[in-house]
Structure 1
Amino acid sequence: MQKTRVIIVTDGDVTAEKAVYQASLNVNAYPLTLSAGNPTPFSGPELVLLIKAAPYDPVVVMLDDRGQVGQGIGEKALETLLKEPEIEVLGVVAVASDTKQAQGVRVDRAVTNQGEVCHRPVDKDGVPEAPGHQFLEGDTVEILNRYPEVKVVGCGDLGKMEGQDDYRKGAVITTRCFQEILENSSV
């Protein structure tokens, strides 16, 4: 049985949804807009069913803990997707937030608010963190520390970053994140 390929995005608010939708179209991925919400409106098993019903892949899924520190509904759903044998997670766009006391996650790469790829985390505005700063802080990312084999691309707040990722301008930063994942996977 062929696995359904998935890109996961750790943000689900309305602005992120618009950017994810546009970026998905830009890279010929299927935007699972039903997964958008703050917090995530579906459980992991429900999302698996929605993903498997998608008309084509890769499928882009949005997950969000709504600022909750620790494992919230978005992270629980994320772990379900990572463990699902019929799904191949191509990578995760880990979105930075202002969540206090978040442990964060190491990123393989990050895309800045200028669309440049760097090898350290960025903050919520898409600005590269200072050298030596090793973790991207976000509210729906810490579970990824248990899965070091998963490709993680860091990003600032989707659809925002001082207008640099506006969906009306093509959601170029979110698109670049998706391209990073797709270019470095078996797609």
Structure 2
Amino acid sequence: MSRMRKKVIVITDGDEYARRAIRHIASELGGTSLDDLAGNPTRATKEEIIKGIERATSEPVFVLVDDAGVSGIGAGESILLQIATHPSVDIIGALAVASHTKFREWSRFDFSIDLDGNLVPFGVDKEGVPELDVDRISGDTVYALDQLTIPTIVAIGDIGKMRGRDDIKYGAPVTKRAIELILERDEQHGAASTGNADSIQT
């Protein structure tokens, strides 16, 4: 029996602020938040997360992973690398969350959004303020993103914070906009694929 792949959006942050923000955004935009399996650092197993993805009743499924400042491949990135190739998982995008960790790991990105919700060509820091690096962001759970083929990676500051601009009491608007970018790109990709298929058949 073939297994249906679930659309997944990866969030490289698992603290309480991120969990609350993603839970709220999933309730507004649709989808399933696996915030109950999130942690700082990630403590859930690959099997637990895969089971959560497969049992999700709506998509996308939001998976939160976090290394909690560990250098190299920590708990969060290890889980990400394990689930990325699972036949039930289709990662359509990721939020690459900046951090102030002394271990300056980095990842490429497709879009970057600052604390005011503006798209910028530079990476951003934990506060959502643009940095000098173009097309890359530093963080403690972002290195593995560069090892995977992920259609859309959005660089963003610390979810639910960013000097209060992304506070849950405002609906976490910066994070919400970042998620919307991923969903828009996925929809465009799906439409383009359908169009190509139609043109081949005619």
Unaligned runs of 5+ in 2: 191-202
Distance 1:96 1:18 in 2: 18
Where has structure 1 moved over 3 Å in runs of 4 or more?
none
Q: Cα distance, 1:45 vs. partner?
A: 2.7
Query: 2: distance between equivalents of 1:105 and 1:35?
Result: 24
Residue correspondence of structure 1 range 1-187 to structure 2 within 5 A: 1-130=3-132, 132-186=133-187
Secondary structure of 2:41's counterpart equals coil
Q: What is the TM-score with the length of structure 1 in the denominator?
A: 0.93
Q: How far does the alpha carbon of each residue in 1:95-120 deviate from its partner, in whole angstroms, 9 at most, with x for none? A: 00001132210111111100112232
> Normalising by the residue count of structure 2, what TM-score does the alignment of the two structures yield?
0.87
- Return the letter of the residue paired with 2:171: G
In 2, Cα distance between the equivalents of 1:35 and 1:90?
20
Task: Give me the whole-angstrom Cα distance separating, in 1, the residues matched to 2:13 and 2:179.
Answer: 14
Please identify the structure whose Cα radius of gyration is greater.
2
Kept in 2, the 8 Å contact 1:19–1:159? The answer is yes
Q: Conserved in 2, the CA contact under 8 Å of 1:26 and 1:175?
A: no
More strand as a share of residues: 2
Structure 2: which amino acid aligns with 1:157? D
Q: Which has the higher helix share?
A: 2
State how many pairs are aligned: 186
**Contact 1:107-1:120 at 8 Å conserved across structures:** no
Per-residue CA deviations over 1:101-146 (Å, capped at 9, x if unaligned) read 322101111111001122321111101112x444211111101111
Of structures 1 and 2, the one scoring higher in RCO (CA 8 A, sep 6+) is 1
Shift of the alpha carbon at 1:2?
2.3
The question of whether the paired residues in 2 share the 8 Å contact of 1:102 and 1:138 is answered with: yes
CA distance in 2, matches of 1:134, 1:56: 32
Unaligned runs of 5+ in 1: none
- 1:183, distance to aligned residue in structure 2 (A): 0.3
Contact 1:107 1:119 in 2 (8 A): no
For 2:194, the equivalent position in structure 1 comes to none
- RMSD of aligned alpha carbons: 1.4
Q: Percent sequence identity over matched residues?
A: 36
